[in-house]
């Protein structure tokens, strides 16, 4: 194999593999180094491209969310349509096998894309050395190859944060990967952290029958979301049986005869609950351990984030960094867009990422999605706004689907009417948000959406009506 390339990418997650493919499309001789192996199933131990997202993140979690939602709907939604089933049962092994098959199909797909685009795939741990060289190490830490390139893109991603007093044993105290791989439904499941992972994976196991208690350190629920939407979400999750306890600081967990005893304090009171398994979902940290040799010239901050400018340039010439390991939200699509932008900059073009227009989706039921700023953030900045909202219950399609929960809320600048944020909770809002991302990217006003024809009957009519409501002229609700 050649040892000299135009570009070396370290990490084959959505940041790295997308950057590598885009570099190759632009005529650059590209290698991509990744150390990930398949975690389960008959491919266990084999190299597996796609990073956290495809192997242990977005894709397997959505596979389980979908399976568990089908099961939940069979029992709780189908009767309203006149469909009844006796003895509905979930075969957890089959559900997991389906998930594994989806993961291997997609990770194998990246390997094929690499081949088709002539990206050289290298399995091992990459470490950036001096003079634009990269050592590739095997599992035992031995250097097996040294590669060099004109440009290097770092896309090492992130790993779960471990609580110091509650280390993962990967059996009863697990991270998100462990929670994706349970081979049976835990009777009592404790989740630490009511963030995105806690809510998504808590929903999966709750729907399948676990008693789920979520302990969240903060006093407010889902602070990253618009608080109007967060309140609706909290009420829905409580109705579904997710027991979310706010302001709960977990101290420790001891294994006793009755299971794991978790002690926590809430409003100054000490409490204990017994659970069978604990998922720690308190955030993720950059996977930069062992990535940067001391003399490579790339700086990381004290939390391990690689320092970059707004173009994704590190302090070292010709070394770039993208994705979870740099500032900004830890989202697959944000990583990919940075990867594309860097590839285009390397090839002499002008890459562009609009950080004001990064959509967020939480794949619970109802789904939560937003783009732009929240009402509370805009208020804090003293920006004058006007808002309009519209409930799905007032749309014919949501009612016909038996999905009347939720709303669309639109926020526009009070003077210019320019869209500043759109926030949604309801069925399929992960898909509805796309229109609003495009509208914001085009710097639209709420009037632009209000004057756009939306098909009837669709859920997107709620977006249309929310835009009309900004100007107090929604048709199907009293303004």
Among 7, 10, 90, 316, binds ligand FAD (CB under 6 A): 10
Please give the residues from 271 up to 330 whose contact with ligand NAD meets the rule CB under 6 A: 281-284, 329-330
Task: Decide if 476 is catalytic.
Answer: no
What one-character DSSP code corresponds to residue 107? Answer: H
Count of Cβ atoms closer than 10 Å to residue 30 Cβ: 28
198: contact with ligand NAD by CB under 6 A: yes
Strand ranges for 257-315 from DSSP E: 259-266, 269-275, 277-280, 284-286
Q: In what order do the strands lie in the sheet with 385-391?
A: 360-362, 367-372, 419-426, 407-413, 385-391
Binder of ligand FAD out of 16, 178, 186, 351 (CB under 6 A) = 16
Residue from the set 100, 200, 435, 465 that interacts with ligand NAD by CB under 6 A: 200
Q: Is 125 in the site for ligand FAD (CB under 6 A)?
A: yes
Nearer to ligand FAD, 75 or 224 (CB): 224
Site membership for ligand FAD, residue 333 (CB under 6 A): yes
Looking at the DSSP assignment, which residues form a beta bridge with residue 262?
Answer: 253, 273
Q: Is the peptide bond before 366 cis (omega within 30 degrees of 0)?
A: yes
Q: Does 331 bind ligand FAD (CB under 6 A)?
A: yes
Rounded to whole angstroms, the Cα distance separating 474 from 54 reads 41
- By the rule CB under 6 A, 332 interacts with ligand FAD: yes
Q: Coil, strand or helix: which one is 59?
A: helix
Q: Could you say whether residue 373 binds ligand FAD (CB under 6 A)?
A: no
Q: Which does 186 bind (CB under 5 to 8 A by kind): ligand FAD, ligand NAD, none?
A: none
Sorted by sequence, the CB contacts under 8 Å of residue 23 that are 6+ apart come out as 6, 7, 9, 30, 119, 153, 343, 346, 347
215 near ligand NAD, rule: CB under 6 A:
yes
Give the active site residue among 76, 170, 352, 456.
456
Q: Whose Cβ is closer to ligand FAD: residue 330's or residue 341's?
A: 330
Residue whose pair of structure tokens reads 């998504």 in the numeric block: 200
- Given ligand FAD, ligand NAD, none, residue 215, with its beta carbon under 5 to 8 Å by kind, binds ligand NAD
Residue 419's Cβ-count burial label (10 Å; 0-12, 13-18, 19+) is buried
Q: At what angle do helices 92-117 and 58-76 cross, to 10 degrees?
A: 140
**195 is in the binding site of which of ligand FAD, ligand NAD, none (Cβ under 5 to 8 A by kind)?**
ligand NAD
Which residue of 24, 152, 194, 197 would you call a contact of ligand FAD, by CB under 6 A? 197
Cβ distance to ligand FAD smaller for residue 35 or 464 = 35
Q: Does 61 participate in binding ligand FAD (rule CB under 6 A)?
A: yes
Cβ-count burial 396-416 (b if 16+ within 10 Å, e if not)? ebbeebebebbbbbbbbbeee
Interacting residue with ligand NAD among 19, 24, 119, 192 (CB under 6 A): 192
- Tokens 């471990």, residue? 162
Q: Does 331 bind ligand NAD (CB under 6 A)?
A: yes
| Binding test (CB under 6 A) with ligand NAD, winner from 11, 50, 51, 193 | 193
Structure tokens at 41: 């199933």
Q: Which residues of the shown chain bind ligand FAD in the complex (CB under 6 A)?
A: 10-16, 33-36, 51-53, 57-58, 61, 125-126, 155-158, 176, 197, 287, 291, 323-324, 330-333, 335, 363
Active site residues: 456
Q: Which residues of the shown chain bind ligand NAD in the complex (CB under 6 A)?
A: 163, 192-198, 200, 215-218, 250, 281-284, 329-331, 361-363
């Amino acid at each position: 194999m050649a040892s000299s390339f135009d570009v070396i990418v370290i990490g084959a997650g959505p940041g790295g593999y997308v950057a590598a493919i885009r570099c190759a499309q632009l005529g650059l001789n590209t290698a991509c180094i990744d150390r990930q192996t398949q975690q389960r199933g008959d491919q266990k131990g084999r190299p597996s491209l796609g990073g956290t997202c495809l192997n242990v993140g977005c894709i397997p979690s959505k596979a389980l969310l979908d399976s568990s939602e089908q099961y939940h709907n069979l029992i709780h939604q189908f009767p309203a349509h006149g469909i009844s089933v006796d003895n509905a049962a979930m075969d957890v092994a089959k559900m997991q096998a389906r998930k594994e098959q989806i993961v291997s199909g997609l990770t194998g797909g990246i390997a094929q894309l690499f081949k088709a685009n002539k990206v050289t795939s290298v399995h091992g741990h990459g470490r950036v050395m001096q003079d634009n060289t990269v050592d590739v190490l095997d599992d035992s830490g031995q250097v097996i190859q040294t590669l060099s390139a004109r440009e290097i893109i770092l896309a090492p991603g992130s790993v779960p944060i471990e609580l110091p007093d509650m280390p993962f044993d990967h059996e009863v105290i697990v991270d998100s990967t462990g929670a994706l791989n349970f081979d049976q439904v835990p009777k009592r499941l404790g989740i630490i952290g009511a963030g995105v992972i806690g809510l998504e994976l808590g929903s999966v196991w709750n729907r399948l029958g676990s008693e789920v208690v979520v302990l969240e350190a903060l006093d407010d629920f889902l602070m990253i979301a618009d608080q109007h939407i967060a309140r609706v979400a909290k009420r829905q999750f409580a109705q579904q049986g997710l027991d979310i306890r706010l302001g709960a600081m977990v101290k420790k967990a001891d294994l006793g005869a009755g299971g794991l005893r978790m002690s926590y304090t809430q409003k100054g009171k000490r409490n204990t609950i017994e659970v069978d398994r604990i998922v720690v979902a308190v955030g993720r940290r950059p996977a930069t351990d062992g990535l940067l040799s001391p003399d490579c010239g790339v700086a990381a901050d004290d939390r391990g984030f690689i320092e970059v400018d707004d173009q994704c340039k590190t302090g070292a010439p010709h070394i770039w960094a993208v994705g979870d390991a740099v500032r900004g939200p830890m989202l697959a699509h944000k990583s990919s867009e940075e990867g594309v932008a860097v590839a285009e900059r390397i090839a002499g073009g002008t890459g562009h990422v609009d950080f004001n227009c990064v959509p967020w989706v939480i794949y619970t039921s109802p789904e939560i999605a937003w783009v732009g700023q929240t009402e509370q953030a805009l208020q804090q900045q003293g920006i004058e706004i006007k808002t309009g909202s519209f409930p799905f219950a007032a749309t014919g399609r949501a009612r016909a689907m038996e999905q009347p929960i939720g709303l669309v809320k639109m926020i526009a600048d009070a003077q210019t009417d320019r869209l500043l944020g759109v926030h949604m909770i309801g069925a399929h809002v992960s898909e509805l948000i796309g229109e609003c991302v495009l509208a914001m990217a085009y710097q639209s006003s709420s009037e632009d959406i209000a004057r756009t024809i939306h098909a009837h009957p669709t859920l997107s009519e709620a977006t249309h009506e929310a835009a009309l409501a900004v100007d107090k002229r929604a048709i199907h609700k009293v303004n």
